[in-house]
Structure 1
Amino acid sequence: MKKILLIQTGGTIAMNAKGAGVELDPESWSKVLYKEIPELSEIAELTTIPLFFEDSSDLNASHWKKLANCIQEHYEQYQGFVILHGTDTMAYSASALSFGLRNLAKPVIFTGSQLPMSSIRSDARRNLVNAIELATMNFQEVGICFNDALYRGNRSTKMSIGDFDAFGSPNFSPLADIGIKIKEKVLESFGAGELKNLADYSDEVFVLTVHPNLNPALLESLPLERLRAVIIRAFGSGNFCIKGPNSLLPFLDRCLDAGVVVAVVSQADYDSVDLSQYTAGRAALDHGAISGNDMTLEAALTKLMFLLAHYGNKTEIEKYFQQSLVGELTEK
């Protein structure tokens, strides 16, 4: 029987229903776990670590580093890892770990739930059982297990607040479908040799969501001297206003002069940014922007945070951002 390490970080799955809402309950979560799902021991030899207990909206790069360090510390002792995590930022954490843990040869599976485990209608039991079984299999990357599917972590995004089918992978097929049997659909590895824990991330990134009538004057106070990258969440395949007083091209010029990387991703979940397709995209290219291709916002942000922490040269950062490092984008 394989040894699996279950790492608890908090989130809804670790909450108890109390009064009008739900609250984190670090004292009783393990008791609830084995009370509700006693058959977990039939799947794997399970060890649990309560690494921290936080609502996932409070997590940041320091927590990603703790997760990476925990996995590195226990890497030789276990055949797989399951991380219990809140859904709100699960795709960010999974993406960040995919860049930080290199030469990964074992499954690292994130899961959680839309309802607390103590709730009678909770999806926690199903997700956790599936995640632990997936962690005993041959996946060699970071994934998100939710609602009978396993998605590549850096291809995932939260798509629903109220449905059990909370996550999707718009531009990449699931790694596995979970029915009566688990059907492996994608088995890839990224690098070989000893595990490298490169988990380090910079916060010198700003995300700008464009919208009609965005006033560029509001961006004049943005301290570009404290930034090294800006992600523009554009319309469609990479469009934004380039005419009249609302044109963002002067802002792109300021970024270019300041040596700030400008990457363009789409507000649409499906398909890819193509800056050569329309006039606005071609103007963005002319003013120094680069394409985020079909990356999710979560992947693009954590990838830039990772690259900024490891490279000082803008040209190198732009080069690696546009390459697939761990399957996060579709190379043309």
Structure 2
Amino acid sequence: MKKILLIQTGGTIAMNAKGAGVELDPERWSKVLYEEIPELNEIAEIVTFPLFFEDSSDLNAWHWVKLAGCIEEKYDEFDGFVILHGTDTMAYSASALSFGLKNLGKPVIFTGSQLPMSTIRSDARRNLVNAIELATMDFKEVGICFNDALYRGNRATKLSIGDFDAFGSPNFSPLADIGIQIESLVQEQFGNGNFENVAKYSDEVFVLTAHPNLNPKLLMDLKLDNVCAVILRAFGSGNFCVKGEKSLLPFLDKCRDQDVIIAIVSQADYDSVDLTQYSAGRAALEHGAISGNDLTLEAAVTKLMFLLAHYDSKTDIEQRFQQSLAGEL
């Protein structure tokens, strides 16, 4: 029987319903887990580890490094890892770990729930059972298990607040389809060397969302002293205002002149940025921007955070940003 480490980080799955709201209940989560799902031990030998208990909106790079360190420390002892995590930033954490866990040779599966495990209609039981079983299989990457699907962690994004089908992978097929049987659809390994924890992330990334009537003066007054990269969430395939007084091109010039990377992703979930398709995209290229291709926002943010922490050369970072490191492109 395989041995799985179940790492608790908090989130709705660890909450206790009280009145009109919910709150984290770290004292009860392990007890509830075994009371509600005693058959988990029929799937694998499970060891639980309460790493920290936080609402996922409070998580940051410090927590990602701590998670990666936990997996590194326990790597040889376990066959797979399941991380219980809040849904709001799960795709960010999964993306960050996909870059930080180099040459991963075992499954690292994130899961959580839309309702606390203690509530009668909770989706926690199904998600957790599925995640544990997936962690016993031959996946060699970071994934998100939710509502009978396994998604590549750096391809997933949260699409719904209120549906059990909370996550999707708009531009990449699921890694597995979970029905009566679990059908593995994609199995890949990124790197053939020894496993290495290289989790380190910069906080010098700024995300800018384009919208009609955005005042460029606000951006021209923005100090870039502590910014190394700007992610511009553009319309469609990479469009934004380039004409008249609302043009954002002067801001792109400002970034280029101060050696700040400008990476363009789309506000649309499906398909890919193509900066050669329209005049705005071509102008962006001429003014120093690079394409985020079909990266999710979560993958784009965490990838740049990762690259900035590991490389000093702007050219190196821009080149690697446009190459697939862990199946994110």
- The corresponding residue for 1:96 is 96
- The corresponding residue for 1:27 is 27
Unaligned regions of 5+ residues in structure 1, if any? Answer: none
- The corresponding residue for 1:178 is 178
Aligned-pair CA distance for 1:194: 1.4
- The corresponding residue for 1:49 is 49
- The corresponding residue for 1:114 is 114
Aligned-pair CA distance for 1:193: 2.4
Aligned-pair CA distance for 1:224: 1.1
- The corresponding residue for 2:245 is 245
Distance 1:315 1:224 in 2: 18
Instruction: Tell me the TM-score normalized by structure 1.
Output: 0.99
Distance 2:272 2:227 in 1: 26
Distance 1:123 1:164 in 2: 7
- The corresponding residue for 2:73 is 73
In percent, how many aligned pairs have the same letter? 80
Distance 2:220 2:254 in 1: 9
- The corresponding residue for 1:270 is 270
Task: Please give the secondary structure, in 1, of the residue aligned with 2:217.
Answer: helix
Matched, 1:291 2:307: no
Distance 2:222 2:203 in 1: 15
- The corresponding residue for 1:155 is 155
Task: Verify the 8 A CA contact 2:170 2:269 in the aligned structure 1.
Answer: yes
Aligned-pair CA distance for 1:220: 2.2
Distance 2:310 2:89 in 1: 23
Distance 2:152 2:214 in 1: 34
- The corresponding residue for 1:14 is 14
Aligned-pair CA distance for 1:225: 1.8
Task: Please give the secondary structure, in 2, of the residue aligned with 1:315.
Answer: helix
**Count of residue pairs the alignment pairs up:** 329
Q: CA RMSD in A?
A: 0.4
Task: Please give the secondary structure, in 2, of the residue aligned with 1:277.
Answer: coil
Distance 1:13 1:186 in 2: 27
- The corresponding residue for 1:5 is 5
Distance 1:78 1:222 in 2: 48
Aligned-pair CA distance for 1:222: 1.7
Task: Please give the secondary structure, in 2, of the residue aligned with 1:150.
Answer: strand
Distance 1:100 1:57 in 2: 20
Aligned-pair CA distance for 1:15: 0.2
Task: Please give the secondary structure, in 2, of the residue aligned with 1:110.
Answer: strand
Task: Verify the 8 A CA contact 2:220 2:254 in the aligned structure 1.
Answer: no
Distance 1:159 1:238 in 2: 21
- The corresponding residue for 2:221 is 221
Give the partner amino acid of 2:119: S
Give the partner amino acid of 1:137: M
Distance 1:268 1:107 in 2: 30
Distance 1:17 1:211 in 2: 38
Unaligned regions of 5+ residues in structure 2, if any? Answer: none
Instruction: Tell me the TM-score normalized by structure 2.
Output: 1.00
| Deviation per residue, 1:114-153 (Å, 9 max, x gap) | 0000000000000000000000000000000000000000
| Deviation per residue, 1:30-74 (Å, 9 max, x gap) | 010000000000000000000000000000000000000000000
Give the partner amino acid of 1:306: F
Task: Please give the secondary structure, in 1, of the residue aligned with 2:76.
Answer: coil
Matched, 1:231 2:231: yes
Distance 1:5 1:177 in 2: 23
